Structure 1
Amino acid sequence: MQENSEIKALLQLIDDPDEVVYETVSTKIMSLGKAIIPNLEHFSETSINTELQAKIERLIQQLHFEDLKADFIKWNDGSPDLLSGAMLVAKFVYPDVDVTAVLKDIDKLRRNIWLEMNSYLTPMEQINVVGSILYNYYKQRGIEINYNNPDGFLINKVLEKQHGNAFGNGTLLLILFGLLDVPVYAINIPQQFILGYFDSLYDVLNPVGHASEKIKFYIDPINGQMYSHKDVENYFKKIAVPPTASFFKPINNKNVIITLLTELQKCYTAEDNAFKNEQISSLINIIAA
């Protein structure tokens, strides 16, 4: 924690009732970047003024967000891998997330699955191996989507708590399949987050085939259950939506993260969370631009 007379003066002025003064102080604090966060935290801890504490918390959150926004821009402009993107989404809620711990957990899962894989396994046998290790051995569970609980969407909490909703577990599975070179991708079936096992040779043999024919079968990330084409056809009949080709195309990493952010945003619809909702919108815009 750095300390000097300028910082002390700024901290004392945070609680100034004059909005112009507060805006000036806020702008100056933001210009100092994350280095001033320990000072803000200490000042908040030593104050009994709840309104002041709320102002400081908002400033800290904004400082973290500006840093996160810069990271999203770098991720979007580079080679946007899914694990890094999922970690950035987690940092929106948990700025101090232990990245090393998450990477270790992911690598442990990858190694244990890889040891059971071989080139003679059929696609369904590959998925059975992944499901057996993740859902049976590691006891990963699926939970209902609860917009009062953002943890179900976040890769760090999905690993830590050993449960996640369809989007949280689905992101974990997609990361693992990517690391293992298994051709499984998210697809855009309405009202679902479901994965498809794609036939990598289909385009070569059937260049004009329907998009759905490239998928051998479907995988539910809640529990690893596999579904047939007939199951999916019945689902489309149930929701009375024609199964157009766009629903069966693989979603790239950027759009998976946009989907994850869009769902996470629904956790912040209350009036007192309006600024977080707006911040997520700005992150989505960075990727969608």
Structure 2
Amino acid sequence: MQETKEISALFNLLDDPDQEVFSTVSDRIVDYGRGIIPNLENLWENTLSEEVQERIEMLIHKLHYNDLTKDFTDWKSNPYHDLLFGSLLVAKYQYPDLATAPVLQELERIRRNVWLELNSFLTSLEQANVISSIVYNYYNLKGVEMGYNNPDDFFIHKVIESKKGNALSNGVLYLLLCELLDINVKAINIPKQFILAYFHNDYDQYEGSINPQHKIHFYIDAISGQIFSHKDIESYFKRISVPITPFYFQPMSHKRIIQLQLEELAKCFENPKFQYKYDELMALSKLLDE
């Protein structure tokens, strides 16, 4: 963006100690939109004051966040709620300049490797075993416990780069592959877990009279690809003393999965220094819920 006299004047006020003045200046800068980011980056490189650099960084972050809020609003308004695009938006919170092409290319490479091993004569269990063999053995995807010390464990592009993720991010990768391969695997609402279920092909989730549990072949642990039986899941419910109801076996919507990603990612920033990130991520989740 061409630097006008007004922009130069605003930049000169970024070091003003009066918080009210700075608030007014920052609001005016943000009003310019993302086009002013290169100007801010250039100013950062030519500024010696760490305090001013921090203010510039927060302004750039706010500009990116405003754009991301608009992108999530558009995603929410689209009736399809594409899971891959939603996951990339989550990653763009921390990596606003994320290049999506490498993610799409690598996802397609994995899909093709799985597709080459599939055929119409395989049972649902054999299909799941093919996917798990390619993803966890050949591709060497590793699972880590759900922790909140490393935000990268939640981002789809970082999972693909590092071949390491938690149950949620690995599960999203598994779901994306199943969608591309037209395999009826969905995430379900098991308490305190992110578990995938392989549904019968004739299951209609909008048919309210059917108990979805009766339409599930088996369950998949996204951390490792391990298969769970109905008995395994029923034992888990007994262990946590929760009565089984059909709700827990209903497929999660893509919107709910993305909300869950945002909510779990927010827990990485539950400390005073990054409280604003926690608040922003929870605001994005709430935006999808409205």
TM-score class, shorter: over 0.9
Check if 1:69 corresponds to 2:74.
no
TM-score (normalizing by structure 2) = 0.95
1:203–1:34 distance in 2 versus 1, CA, 3 Å:
closer
Name 1:4's counterpart in structure 2: 4
1:275 Cα deviation from its structure 2 partner: 1.1
Name 2:111's counterpart in structure 1: 110
Check if 1:27 corresponds to 2:27.
yes
SS in 2 for 1:233: helix
In 2: Cα distance, 1:277 partner to 1:64 partner = 16
1:19 Cα deviation from its structure 2 partner: 2.0
Does structure 2 conserve the Cα–Cα contact (< 8 Å) formed by 1:203 and 1:214? no
In 2: Cα distance, 1:181 partner to 1:21 partner = 56
Moved over 4 A (4+): 206-209
Name 2:44's counterpart in structure 1: 44
1:36–1:209 distance in 2 versus 1, CA, 3 Å:
closer
TM-score (normalizing by structure 1) = 0.96
SS in 1 for 2:122: coil
State the percentage of identical aligned residues.
49
In 2: Cα distance, 1:145 partner to 1:203 partner = 31
In 2: Cα distance, 1:113 partner to 1:149 partner = 29
Letter in 1 for 2:101: T
Letter in 1 for 2:30: M
SS in 1 for 2:255: helix
Please list, as runs of the form range in 1=range in 2, the aligned pairs for 1:133-144 lying within 5 A after superposition. 133-144=134-145
In 2: Cα distance, 1:103 partner to 1:250 partner = 25
Q: Cα deviations across residues 230-286 of structure 1 (Å, max 9, x unaligned)?
A: 111111111111111111000010011011111111111111111111111221122
In 2: Cα distance, 1:6 partner to 1:195 partner = 54
SS in 2 for 1:185: strand
* Unaligned residue ranges in structure 1 (runs of 5+): none
1:211 Cα deviation from its structure 2 partner: 2.5
1:22 Cα deviation from its structure 2 partner: 1.0
SS in 2 for 1:283: helix
What RMSD, in angstroms, separates the aligned Cα atoms of the two structures?
1.6
Does structure 2 conserve the Cα–Cα contact (< 8 Å) formed by 1:258 and 1:284? yes
In 1: Cα distance, 2:38 partner to 2:208 partner = 58
Name 1:147's counterpart in structure 2: 148
